[in-house]
Amino acid sequence: VQIITGGAATTPSGRRTATFSGDVWGDSVLPETDDVLINNVFFAPGARTYWHSHDRGQILIVTAGVGAVWDRDGRGGRIATGDVVFIPPGSEHWHGACSDRFMAHTAISLGGHEWLEKVAEDDYLAGAGPA
């Protein structure tokens, strides 16, 4: 048994840069395994992931703020505290904060993942403009 007090990370928070736009910080909640990653992720206003997919899908649990998640087929929308999102295996998508709000979520990522291109500014503002 390992009690993780308050869901705190087991390692220092890390700035996420290479596949994210804007100011994004991540905490690894559980020690990393090959198959499951659990991260608390904080997105400053305007920050978001690049387009990407997860081999076996992903669950997002929004813990604070207001953001958005969208896939290539235009499915998605605004998300806020308490919302739970399931992203199917292989679905290309992005998630992040709205342009004028921060957003924090716990991300449970299953299997490997593939990073793609940056989300274009127009697409970002269309999907996650001012809340």
Neighbouring residues of 120: CB distance < 8 A, sequence distance ≥ 6: none
Q: Tell the smallest beta-carbon distance from residue 56 to Mn ion (Å).
A: 12
Distance CA 118, CA 121 (A): 9
Nearer to Mn ion, 57 or 125 (CB): 57
Shortest distance (Å) from residue 54 CB to Mn ion: 6
Q: What is the DSSP string of 5-46?
A: GGG--SS--EEE-TTEES-EEEEE-S---SSEEEEEEEE-TT
Instruction: Tell me which residue has its CB nearest to Mn ion.
Output: 58
Nearer to Mn ion, 101 or 105 (CB): 105
Per CB under 5 A, does 21 bind Mn ion?
no
Q: Measured from the CB atom, is 40 or 58 closer to Mn ion? A: 58
Question: How many of the chain's residues bind Mn ion (CB under 5 A)?
Answer: 1
Query: Is 66 in contact with 49 (CB distance < 8 Å)?
Result: no
Q: Is 58 in the site for Mn ion (CB under 5 A)?
A: yes
Interface residues toward Mn ion, by CB under 5 A: 58
